Structure 1
């Protein structure tokens, strides 16, 4: 074996130096490198930016947020660049329609700018511009109120969170603040343009990161709000030419502020009773029930009499019915007595606390209460005393329903039912009831046994 010559002193020094550098340099780089923003340690699910072609309507994504705390979100948003190029201002917009519809639109827009931007005129103008941009864009509803309250009937999926997160119930702005918001809204609907946000259709505060953010162009910042438009053709002026409808819907949830929405409620609803006006914000914001399986026009519900007033039952029922032309809502206070399916049994009907029926083909729209449980200002609002029908008489009665619509449920003939399935609609030929009550007069109301939170509002 041949012996290897020893390493020279110089070579050993070089090798030691290289080893030291391999250890020290990375350590120094780690020590003196600029800090990495904390949000980068969170996983951000960025939606890929896609230019939607003109032939395809861009989707309106539900409001959902990345899992970032506020400071991380601010850092993330600060790193998102603004789009290059000019931001052309939107064209002036002037709302058409009769004075009542214009008043409803003004109040819907006022609620949006106030709850979204607070009592700040600049922020309110920016929010108002986004609402107007949306109403002119074919991807959104074609009325101001429709845009503002889009998805408000769901606990998730609303486009403006104040319409479905209970803010209308939790927080009430002062009359002066409401008046200032109406001034901003009215100006926007008469042609005032907030130029800075251009044709933005989306915005969010800088302490949150919506999932849709990365798919849009960031175009402006107003205080703590960031504004975005769709990419490609759908973000240009040519896309904002849709004809806007002047048929503004009535928004019951705004009755606490708006005379225009309060006075537009049709029929003896919960907001305009014959003996006085009353509005229930809990009923206006409560989660809506699902219809009965197999019958999209019928609802069996448990009513929360502890937090919802008796007047609010009717508002809740009308919200559940939505735009159905024919609808029945039956309510119980005790959840153990609330049925889960149709047809109803006599004992279930006897314990019913509230009923509502709508039949637009017969111009019928009526809510009734069990006056043994809830005092009402008029006997016309009370359910009738109930009597059992024999099988033969039930079939006879069901042939006599041409005089007015019947809320009787679809029932087998072998099941005895009460004389009135929703306990409030008279049928001619009911001899027992005719003898007890003079023709054309309501059945007498029973003395009250239980009152809801606002039962004494007469």
Structure 2
């Protein structure tokens, strides 16, 4: 009897130990397989009250400023912002209408913007390009492609695309293949390609930041880690995007190391600035938008004319020489558009830009020079082309001197906080994405 009880006790003890062992294995496995939900206490987000701007008031483009949040808290907040349920129509196709030189500058401005903002990723680049074009058609933004991309470039903070004012263009240079691909996307967007998904979006940011302007805009779509927005109310609808862009693109000196089009333009601008001083020394000064001198009658040494219709470029020198006669000093300026021809000095900016031909003679200095507006008169020699928006004086243009480009280093901090380590929009890990306004 005692032996039977002992055996039974041993079996019970053995079964108990087996059960405890099973719980020790199964219990943790169940916890791992079914983890409890951990509630993350997010930092409170304080945004200004949203405001729908009335149609009679052009909306203000606010500088980029972010709420102080960790990437995790920013993502959690952005996930709570619903997408707009209003229609999201595709933007109208855009086709650049300027001349070849302006198209080249616009293409390279667009290529730089989309590459530095989205990285070497075609999908992201197409989305950014559409935002640039949307801004181009909207009254709240500049009227040129380069103006939109480099808006605020002269400010250390407040630029709309941060690569243009945070030194990124000097810190990092794209590979030849990446630049070529970006130019292809840029050229397509300027030739009518439309990225339908972002509609009429004018703003975007990465999902790991929260900009203060977000509260007044409608969230309409996401492309990878980027969220796209348009203004609430009438300013986000297709009729608001009816502004006609300008066709003369500015020269961006920052792009001289990447773009031949801007490299040449930057050199010409430097030459114009230097030669303007020489013009003053010769007895007449440059006419620019900042000219404040009152208008004065044209003197006997200055001739302002409207050219006859159908005038060829080759006959202009003869016309100027005939008009100047035997004068030792003579300025001859001619316009193909009679409605824009000047009748007095100084010239207005629009008159300077429309100038078709300029001739200057100063026999005391043994100086004689003719320049053509090569948008109106084609010349085989580029040195004969005037830079019509810089000065009205007819002066020669020296050859461009191009500095050597910097050594490429890792791109860091383009349109993101330096503490952020979230994945970029593009698929290439070596080129971080940007988060523009």
1:37 matched to 2:40? yes
Report deviation, 1:47. Answer: 2.1
Q: Does the Cα contact within 8 Å between 2:276 and 2:286 map onto a contact in 1?
A: no
1:362 matched to 2:290? no
Partner of 1:104: 105
Q: Does the Cα contact within 8 Å between 1:197 and 1:219 map onto a contact in 2?
A: yes
The alignment partner of 1:241 has SS state of: coil
1:69 matched to 2:73? no
Q: Structure 2 vs 1, CA of residues 216 and 360 (structure 1 numbering), >3 Å: closer, same or farther?
A: farther
The alignment partner of 1:124 has SS state of: helix
TM-score (structure 1 length as normaliser): 0.52
Partner of 2:195: 194
1:179 matched to 2:180? yes
Partner of 1:59: 60
Partner of 2:142: 141
Q: Structure 2 vs 1, CA of residues 261 and 37 (structure 1 numbering), >3 Å: closer, same or farther?
A: same
CA distance in 2, matches of 1:197, 1:227: 7
Report deviation, 1:34. Answer: 5.5
Q: Structure 2 vs 1, CA of residues 214 and 261 (structure 1 numbering), >3 Å: closer, same or farther?
A: same
The alignment partner of 1:265 has SS state of: helix
The alignment partner of 2:212 has SS state of: coil
Report deviation, 1:71. Answer: 1.7
Report deviation, 1:173. Answer: 0.2
Q: Does the Cα contact within 8 Å between 1:47 and 1:213 map onto a contact in 2?
A: no
Partner of 1:396: none
Q: Structure 2 vs 1, CA of residues 268 and 252 (structure 1 numbering), >3 Å: closer, same or farther?
A: closer
Report deviation, 1:358. Answer: 11
Report deviation, 1:215. Answer: 1.4
Report deviation, 1:50. Answer: 1.1
CA distance in 1, matches of 2:121, 2:151: 24
Report deviation, 1:69. Answer: 1.4
1:91 matched to 2:92? yes
CA distance in 2, matches of 1:90, 1:360: 52
Report deviation, 1:326. Answer: 9.1
Q: How many residues align?
A: 260
CA distance in 1, matches of 2:48, 2:198: 22
Report deviation, 1:86. Answer: 2.2
The alignment partner of 2:265 has SS state of: coil
1:306-326 per-position Cα deviation (integer Å, ceiling 9, x unaligned): xxxxxxxx9xxx8xx9xxx99
| 1:342-421 pair list within 5 angstroms | 362-363=285-286
1:162-187 per-position Cα deviation (integer Å, ceiling 9, x unaligned): 11111111111011100100000000
Report deviation, 1:268. Answer: 7.6
Partner of 1:210: 211
Q: Structure 2 vs 1, CA of residues 154 and 363 (structure 1 numbering), >3 Å: closer, same or farther?
A: same
TM-score (structure 2 length as normaliser): 0.55
CA distance in 1, matches of 2:269, 2:84: 53
CA distance in 2, matches of 1:75, 1:153: 34
Q: Structure 2 vs 1, CA of residues 85 and 179 (structure 1 numbering), >3 Å: closer, same or farther?
A: same
Report deviation, 1:76. Answer: 1.3
Q: Does the Cα contact within 8 Å between 2:144 and 2:248 map onto a contact in 1?
A: yes
Report deviation, 1:80. Answer: 1.1
Partner of 1:227: 228
CA distance in 2, matches of 1:79, 1:359: 67
CA RMSD of aligned residues (A): 3.4
| 1:144-159 pair list within 5 angstroms | 144-159=145-160
Unaligned residue ranges in structure 1 (runs of 5+): 1-31, 273-313, 328-356, 366-438, 441-452
1:276-322 per-position Cα deviation (integer Å, ceiling 9, x unaligned): xxxxxxxxxxxxxxxxxxxxxxxxxxxxxxxxxxxxxx9xxx8xx9x
Partner of 1:377: none
